[in-house]
């Protein structure tokens, strides 16, 4: 089918910027805005829903919501400390909400008055964050919500000409904001679009195509997620011919592909995940705080994504005063400690072609071909079986952070290891040295003990 606004390529991008993004594997997502102040509580009541949806769910009048801006004083905000959290996590990139659905902007935008520049500090926190993260070698990406609950020209659907005219003005406004972001922060490495699922956006696939084109022209190498895109017929992420739009698939939100779904590895993709069950912005209620993930669950997800060639973007919800939530910093630190020992099985690694999903964890493979066994679900038997691809044998095993590890052969390419995990240090990772199988057992001399 002939498409004007479909995918720009059939195969994954292989330029240096894309390879860099792909090799990162671990990213830090940040949701921070006015919703971080009430943090899921309004008029003394916890609203058990994602904190960033509070104005809609609690039906807060617009004026009252906007009045929160005067309390956004940044009393405890320090971009350097946030960037230190990313280092502690072992994140190689960070993606921050420049504007979420409520329309509030973290940079002093010339196209609206609803921005950080009009809060008491008047600071350009986005600029401070870009500088602090980049100083630590961490790439910065911008999240931008196309959906805008506040803008008078936003439309969910286009019912008549008046709607279409209004929405055309809205798209012009959003384009100008994106041009502004590209101009003010030219070192940004990627754009992460959200809020593009409404009929109004789907009817304007040309605009999503134009945004991608504009960003790529202004910022060479910039990486754009698939969620931005709709084609001529309103197909999203993947065009009407089945080709991925944008540079990587970004549909995995608070869920991961099945670990045996190896087809996923043919594309670049990223999954994003909350630390509590279901809030992206900081939620102070016990509902959210009781559901924080365990660091080893996070490690499991990182390994899961890596094993299928995807990146994992772990979300943080800093508090209204600008400080990071201590529980989230604690989780980040544990995950980062694990990565500092076991990162060679994650960074720059991906799908291990030919190795079946083992059940007790994941196989990953480095760019140079080294295969790792990441044991996130050690069996109570204390033994794991390693089924190697046919024709391959195990020649040596190294436990990361330790040393050589014993193993025994059960059959041709089937091996077994006894493992002793330790909850304090987390999932064990084994580097596997392989060789060609010398001679399959079917070709060996018969064993006299089993002859009758």
Nearer to ligand FHN, 155 or 227 (CB): 227
Q: Which listed residue (37, 52, 306, 334) binds ligand FHN by CB under 6 A?
A: 52
For ligand FHN, the closer CB: 253 or 412: 253
- CB of 47: closest distance to ligand FHN in angstroms? 14
Q: Please identify, using beta-carbon distances, which residue of 236 and 334 lies nearer to ligand FHN.
A: 236
Is residue 272 a contact residue for ligand FHN (CB under 6 A)? yes
Least distance to ligand FHN from the beta carbon of 271, Å?
10
Q: Does 280 bind ligand FHN (CB under 6 A)?
A: yes
Taking the complex as a whole, how short is the minimal distance between the CB of residue 355 and ligand FHN, in angstroms? 30
Which of 7, 34, 50, 371 touches ligand FHN (CB under 6 A)?
50
Identity of the residue, 173 or 280, whose beta carbon is nearer to ligand FHN in the bound complex: 280
Q: Which of 253, 337, 344, 370 binds ligand FHN (CB under 6 A)?
A: 253
Nearest-approach distance from CB 381 to ligand FHN, in angstroms: 38
35 binds ligand FHN (CB under 6 A): no
**Which residue has the closest beta carbon to ligand FHN?**
280
Q: Which is nearer to ligand FHN, 31 or 365 (CB)?
A: 31
Q: Which two tokens stand for residue 362?
A: 């994941």
Q: Are 50 and 279 in contact (CB under 8 A)?
A: yes
Minimum distance between the CB of residue 272 and ligand FHN, rounded to whole angstroms?
Answer: 5
Counting contacts by CB under 6 A, is residue 48 touching ligand FHN? no
194 belongs to the binding site for ligand FHN (CB under 6 A): yes
Q: Which residues bind ligand FHN (CB under 6 A)?
A: 50, 52, 194, 253, 272, 280
């Amino acid at each position: 089918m002939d498409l004007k606004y479909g995918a720009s390529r059939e195969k994954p991008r292989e330029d240096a910027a894309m390879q860099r993004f792909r090799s990162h594997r671990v990213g830090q997502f940040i949701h921070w805005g006015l919703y971080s102040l009430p943090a899921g509580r309004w008029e003394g009541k916890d609203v058990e829903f994602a904190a960033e949806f509070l104005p809609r769910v609690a039906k807060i009048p617009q004026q009252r919501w906007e009045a929160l801006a005067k309390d956004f004083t940044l009393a405890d905000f320090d971009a350097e400390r946030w960037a230190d959290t990313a280092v502690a996590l072992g994140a190689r990139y960070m993606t921050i909400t420049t504007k979420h659905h409520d329309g509030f902007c973290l940079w002093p935008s010339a196209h609206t008055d609803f921005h950080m520049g009009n809060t008491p500090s008047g600071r350009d926190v986005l600029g401070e964050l870009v500088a602090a993260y980049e100083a630590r070698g961490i790439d910065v990406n911008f999240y931008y919500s196309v959906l805008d609950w506040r803008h008078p020209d936003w439309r969910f659907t286009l019912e008549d000409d008046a709607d279409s005219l209004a929405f055309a003005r809205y798209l012009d406004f959003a384009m100008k904001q994106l041009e502004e972001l590209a101009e003010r922060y030219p070192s940004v490495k990627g754009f992460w679009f959200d809020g593009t699922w409404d009929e109004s956006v789907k009817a304007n696939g040309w605009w999503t195509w134009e945004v991608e084109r504009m960003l790529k022209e202004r910022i060479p190498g910039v990486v754009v997620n698939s969620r931005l895109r709709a084609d001529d017929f309103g197909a999203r992420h993947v065009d009407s011919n089945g080709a991925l739009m944008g540079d990587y698939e970004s549909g995995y939100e608070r869920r991961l592909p099945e670990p045996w779904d190896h087809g996923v590895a043919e594309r670049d993709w990223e999954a994003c995940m909350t630390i509590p069950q279901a809030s992206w912005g900081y939620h102070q209620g016990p509902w959210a705080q009781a559901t924080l993930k365990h660091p080893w669950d996070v490690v499991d997800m990182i390994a899961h994504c890596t094993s299928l060639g995807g990146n994992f973007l772990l979300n943080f919800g800093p508090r209204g005063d600008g400080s990071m939530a201590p529980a989230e910093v604690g989780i980040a630190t544990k995950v980062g400690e694990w990565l500092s020992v076991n990162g060679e099985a994650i960074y720059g690694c991906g799908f291990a072609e030919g190795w079946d999903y083992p059940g007790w964890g994941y196989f990953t493979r480095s760019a140079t071909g080294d295969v790792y066994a990441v044991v996130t679900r050690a069996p109570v038997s204390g033994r794991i079986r390693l089924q190697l691809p046919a024709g391959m044998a195990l020649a040596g095993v190294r436990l990361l952070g330790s040393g050589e590890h014993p193993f025994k052969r059960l059959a041709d390419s089937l091996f077994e290891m006894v493992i002793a995990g330790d909850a304090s240090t987390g999932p064990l990772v084994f580097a596997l040295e392989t060789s060609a199988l010398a001679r399959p057992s079917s070709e060996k001399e018969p064993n006299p003990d089993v002859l009758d």
